[in-house]
Amino acid sequence: MSSHGALAYEVVQRTRPVVLASTRVVEARWRAHGITVAMRAVLERLVHDGPRTVPDLARTLDISRQAVQRSIDELAAQGHVAPHPNPAHRRSPLFDVTPSARRTFDELHAEEVDRVATIAADLSLDDLATARRVLEVLHAGIAAEVARLTEEAPAR
């Protein structure tokens, strides 16, 4: 076993508890607004990327179209997103956040950023930039491995 591979594996392994713990924190904060972690992820993409279709969101979030559709349906029922005509595709509307949902998102997201800044206070900007690059490279490599394995999987 290479030390390079072992250390890279350890980095991946250490992301699991960070993701799980941060999910619990986000879930607790957004629960009062009736928004799940999955719904928050959809809102975030719409706030940052603008109006998107369900398939676009699924690709960006790397989750199933059905999971995104459930979140969109719930967000729409709560008045957080609204469908708009899509000139590129008649049957796949563009969804966008409502003004009130954008205000709520912006307020809660600002709190999240402040909280994370406090948590990461002992890290330099260079440390954080390196961590981001490491995670981007690992994610791309793992995603490529998933795609390779999917292609190799026998048809059922």
- Give yes or no for a contact between 37 and 30, defined as CB atoms under 8 angstroms apart: yes
Q: Are residues 104 and 31 in the same domain?
A: yes
Q: Are residues 111 and 137 in the same domain?
A: no
- Give yes or no for a contact between 54 and 65, defined as CB atoms under 8 angstroms apart: yes
- Give yes or no for a contact between 115 and 106, defined as CB atoms under 8 angstroms apart: no
Q: Are residues 83 and 150 in the same domain?
A: no
* Number of structural domains in the chain: 2
Q: Are residues 112 and 129 in the same domain?
A: no
83 SS3 class = strand
pTM value is 0.84
Q: Are residues 93 and 50 in the same domain?
A: yes
Q: Are residues 49 and 79 in the same domain?
A: yes
Domain that holds residue 144: 123-156
Q: Are residues 62 and 131 in the same domain?
A: no
From first to last of its 156 residues, the chain has per-residue pLDDT tens of 679 999 999 999 999 999 999 999 999 999 999 999 999 999 999 999 999 999 999 999 989 999 999 999 999 999 999 999 999 888 899 999 999 999 999 999 999 999 999 999 999 999 999 999 999 999 999 989 988 998 887 765
Q: Are residues 66 and 40 in the same domain?
A: yes
90-to-10, 97, 130 alpha-carbon distances in Å? 47, 20, 43
